[in-house]
Amino acid sequence: MKAERIAIAVSKFNKHVTERLLASCRRTLERSGVRPKLITRVPGGFELPWTVNELALSGSYEAIIALGCIMKGQTPQNDHLARSVIHHLHDISVRTRVPVILGVITPSTQKQALDRTRGENDRGEEAALAALMMLKQSRLLKESR
């Protein structure tokens, strides 16, 4: 198994969900013969963009997977947070030219959150597959220059 230049940043907030996302993400990468070069944990979703930006600017990674769970609450805070996190992760990807894979889920309920960690709705697996695809795409585009 080779260590690819893939980093995973995972939020500790809603750990019962994010650790499941991470486990399925890692399993999927390992099934493809890939081991991530780095896995780092951050306090919550709000800290993901800063961490991903630093990883992208380091030049050490060809793709970065961001995993998190921003659960709907009783106030609109989650809407503001989710919008900001997703916007900034996208901006980092475009600005740094390092593929950033969105593995941040925004469920309304605990059941929805857990449903997105298994089966055909497994967002951890989906993020890993997207990272592998973008890694391949990035390398092809670099070779064609």
Q: What is the CATH number of the domain that holds 93?
A: 3.40.50.960
- In which residue are the tokens 């890993």 written? 128
SS3 139: helix
Number of domains in the chain: 1
The dihedral over CA atoms of 103, 109, 110, 112, expressed in degrees to the nearest 10, equals -60
Separation of CA 50 from chain center: 13
For the whole model, what pTM was predicted?
A: 0.94
For 91-141, write each residue's pLDDT tens digit: 999 999 999 999 999 999 999 999 999 999 999 999 999 999 999 999 898
Question: Which domain range does residue 22 map to?
Answer: 2-143
